[in-house]
Structure 1
Amino acid sequence: MDAKSKTVSAKVDNQSKEKFHNHIVHSQRSNAKHNKNKPPPSSSNHNRQSATRKPPISYLIPNPKFHHATDKSSYINSTSDAVDKDSITTVNPVYEYSEEINAQAERDFNQRKQHLIQVCERNKLTGKLSPNAWEFFISPGHGICWCNIFKAASTTWMYYMNILAGYDLKYLQRTVATPLELARKRFPRPSLEDLNEALENSISFLIVREPFERLLSAYRNKMEEGKNTYYKLLGDQIVKKFRTQPQKSDPYGPTFKEFLQFLVQHYKSGGRFDEHWSPIYQFCTPCSINFTLIAKMETFKRDSEYIIRQAGLETLLLNKVPKQKETKISNRSKNNTNHLIPKYFSQIDRELLKEVLNIYQLDFDLFDYDSSKYFSMVQNSRTDVDIKSRMDNDINSRLDFESKSNIYS
């Protein structure tokens, strides 16, 4: 880049940051106003939540708060979530910063936020669920506040958080601890009061993924591969309950169909979901929190660099990323999981698909993803252009239940 280009780029960068700072100060005030009357969890309740315990096997879908109540539990956070220790390296930034890229990113972020606000208002969801502060990572010194959605680039950003926490790169390469365990030692689970304060003074963001791609990724990683003790036991329970006519050709763990049947039954019974497949509208409560930015897996590298630059963390993060032996983020979201979706969804019928969409349709709507394509993949498929309207009552009934039970307070 020549001297003139660098001068223009620096000018654009400074103007964007000043504009962005004003946007944050203005927009985030609404979070504190909305949530200030909602008390944080009591200290006794917080201590009880943090106690070390094994999740009972009979409790098939644990509360996200309690499922990883201790980051040291051998039942949680399998090594498959860890960064590949042989592939962490220092590389050049993926994108060369430019006015054009920055402008397009800003347009996308603004469009995503406006779309989410409209869907929340249209469905009367604004402020309906209590904010789920438990899942946030807050770094006041760096001015960022991240809601960690599992199976949506969580490993990469957990790695970034560990760099911000001050861990040495060589230590991150050799440690047997999971990224989540390390990060939580430096960034403890916040209270609602902590979250409200952070939202006023930080860039808050989440990274979303097409809901069924995320769901399939979670199934393949936690159920099909079956390496983690907790998920092996959970898989055994699913097979016992939903495999009514066992065949010799059946896999040891639950099939995708059995897994979805399990989700539907527990959803109908009011059960709380594991963090790897919990709907985002529950997990990060975006209709109750005024996020500064909504990033997407489809534009993950660009969006991440935009967040990093707006937070002024270029020196710390841009040249230090977990480079996998294969580009896992791109392959997993575009080539691998996406390529396998027709194979897995062809195992289920139309009625089961509709029941699963009752759980995740709101995520499709909030983040502007299209669910209609799945009806051409399932057994006995036909076009269903009115599926969303027929599910409105089910979704609103569920939200009423969650709001009354205040499951994340």
Structure 2
Amino acid sequence: AELSLFPPPVSGSGVTMGTWRGLRVAFIIGSLFMILLIIVYWDDVRGFSLYPLQDPKHEPLDLALIPQTTPVPSCSISASTVRPSPLLSLPTTRSSTPPHPSEQEEGRAAVKRIDEEMAREKKRVDNSHQEERKQRLADVCAGKGSLEFPGKTRAFDQIPNRELDHLIVDDTHQIIYCYVPKVACTNWKRVMVVLSQSLVSPSSGKPYTDPEAVPPDLVHNSSIHLTFAKFWRHYGSLSRHLMALKLQHYTKFLFVRDPFVRLISAFRNKFGKPNEDFYRQFGSVMLSRYGNVSGGVPKTAAEAFAAGIKPTFQQFITYLLDPQTERETAFNEHWRQVYRLCHPCQIQYDFIGRLETLETDSEQLLRILGVDHLIRFPTGARNRTAASWERDWFAQIPMDMRRKLYKLYEPDFELFGYPKPDSVLHR
């Protein structure tokens, strides 16, 4: 017999065959609807899914999950330097839950550790450079080598007052700066003016606070700087005693440069364009002695340049090597040797900067002086004379003159660690 959920109606009842068929259809439709509701419910609660499973390895990275921290600088850091960070273990499935605050703090701490480690390493390298420069200077002055030069072994008290005019003193911050012309001295003098508050701005009526605002022509006025050469006038017989005390307790610094490049820079600046003072005092002398100028040497720089007559670099070098020059004058400060300007064998400098590394050295020095929060080193135009120009500038200079010139400036090369210019001294 055929089985059925709905048996046929009993004979004699009032229910017709058509009514029973309708009830069966309604029951089937209702059952299908209930089954569909169950499927949708379980899919929603993730009991099972109608969609293919996704490989979590290819799930897109949600940037919102990364804590907002300072970007890590692009550099090589060993695995042992930094501990694993929560940033390296991101969830592989999407989630609207933000990282826990402790994870964010650990991420920031990791970045901070990296920054601090980089700062320590930079400081170590900077200090290492300074120690090397100071040690070399001490070794040369102590006689570790065969180099001898005038004034090497004399005591500080034996240096005449007139030779101490490049040592600028700032008592407020306990700083002594020996300035060397053609080695960023304009900007360092500006810094000293601001620190010592020795110059008042005409616009504000107050001392300058920004080095770049200080007019460059004013900073070379010797009257605004307190130098050791002026101590005699101020303190009389106590001057040498005070100098010794300040040299012992103050921070002393200077900036140096490749000696031959400094010479080229000085020549270009003072004789490459009309300069009446330098033409009258030096240029006209060079032309009259070594220029073989017919009709006489022009009296002014303007006349000389208009006539196409001006000192050459070879005449300048000849002038420096002429024994008569040394007898007449002890060299102008723009080409006087650094060892004669700053007396490095008598003064133990705490910081030796180089023009070749001016930005980093200046930044480090301001930190050492404890004034980096007060002042920034001016970012003005740099001197354009490059070391790569040496060979071209010396091309017309006879070899024997080049070697004599090197002997004249050899103490500066040796004291401050500049390599011997073989490209200039050998063909």
TM norm structure 1 = 0.61
Q: Which residue of 2 aligns with 1:159?
A: 190
Higher RCO (CA 8 Å, separation ≥ 6 residues): 1
Pairs within 5 Å for 1:184-203: 184-188=223-227, 189-191=229-231, 192-203=240-251
Provide the rounded CA distance (Å) in 1 between the counterparts of 2:216 and 2:127: 38
Q: Any gaps of 5 or more consecutive residues in structure 2? A: 1-68, 71-107, 198-206, 232-239, 296-303
Q: Which residue of 2 aligns with 1:98?
A: 119
Q: Which residue of 1 aligns with 2:277?
A: 229
Q: Please say if 1:311 is aligned against 2:369.
A: yes
Distance 1:371 1:170, change over 3 A: closer
Pairs within 5 Å for 1:209-288: 209-244=257-292, 251-265=308-322, 266=324, 269=327, 271-288=329-346
Distance 1:217 1:307, change over 3 A: same
SS of aligned partner of 1:205: strand
Q: Give the CA deviation at 1:106.
A: 0.5
| C-alpha contact (below 8 Å) 1:9/1:99 kept by paired residues | no
Give 1:323's match in structure 2, choosing from 373, 379, 398. Answer: 379
Q: Which residue of 1 aligns with 2:78?
A: none
Query: Deviation per CA, 1:283-317, whole angstroms, max 9, x where unpaired?
Result: 11101111111111121111111111011101221
Q: Which residue of 1 aligns with 2:52?
A: none
SS of aligned partner of 1:145: strand
Pairs within 5 Å for 1:59-98: 98=119
Bigger mean CA deviation after superposition, 108-117 or 264-273: 264-273
Q: Which residue of 1 aligns with 2:394?
A: 345
| C-alpha contact (below 8 Å) 1:203/1:311 kept by paired residues | yes
SS of aligned partner of 1:276: coil
Provide the rounded CA distance (Å) in 1 between the counterparts of 2:136 and 2:130: 10
Pairs within 5 Å for 1:345-384: 345-375=394-424, 381-382=426-427
Distance 1:243 1:5, change over 3 A: farther
Q: Give the CA deviation at 1:172.
A: 6.5
Provide the rounded CA distance (Å) in 1 between the counterparts of 2:115 and 2:251: 20
Counterpart residue identity of residue 353, structure 1:
R
How many residues are treated as equivalent by the alignment?
A: 284
TM norm structure 2 = 0.59
Q: Please say if 1:178 is aligned against 2:218.
A: yes
Query: Deviation per CA, 1:168-222, whole angstroms, max 9, x where unpaired?
Result: 25796475842122x7425354434443222122110111100001111111101
Larger Rg: 2
Identity %: 24
Distance 1:152 1:246, change over 3 A: farther
Provide the rounded CA distance (Å) in 1 between the counterparts of 2:424 and 2:394: 9
Provide the rounded CA distance (Å) in 1 between the counterparts of 2:356 and 2:109: 32
Pairs within 5 Å for 1:130-169: 130-131=158-159, 132-166=163-197, 167-169=207-209
Counterpart residue identity of residue 320, structure 2:
L
SS of aligned partner of 1:104: helix
SS of aligned partner of 2:317: helix
Cα RMSD of the aligned pairs, angstroms, is 3.3
Distance 1:177 1:267, change over 3 A: closer
| C-alpha contact (below 8 Å) 1:223/1:232 kept by paired residues | no
Query: Deviation per CA, 1:367-395, whole angstroms, max 9, x where unpaired?
Result: 1112232435xxxx54xxxxxxxxxxxxx
| C-alpha contact (below 8 Å) 2:168/2:225 kept by paired residues | no
SS of aligned partner of 2:374: helix
Distance 1:7 1:200, change over 3 A: farther
Query: Deviation per CA, 1:103-134, whole angstroms, max 9, x where unpaired?
Result: 11110110111111111122463446744432
Q: Any gaps of 5 or more consecutive residues in structure 1? A: 13-96, 383-409
| C-alpha contact (below 8 Å) 2:178/2:253 kept by paired residues | yes
Q: Which residue of 1 aligns with 2:7?
A: none
| C-alpha contact (below 8 Å) 2:194/2:211 kept by paired residues | no
Distance 1:8 1:140, change over 3 A: farther
Query: Deviation per CA, 1:19-69, whole angstroms, max 9, x where unpaired?
Result: xxxxxxxxxxxxxxxxxxxxxxxxxxxxxxxxxxxxxxxxxxxxxxxxxxx
Provide the rounded CA distance (Å) in 1 between the counterparts of 2:115 and 2:312: 53
Provide the rounded CA distance (Å) in 2 between the counterparts of 1:283 and 1:171: 24
Provide the rounded CA distance (Å) in 1 between the counterparts of 2:309 and 2:241: 45
Provide the rounded CA distance (Å) in 2 between the counterparts of 1:269 and 1:232: 19
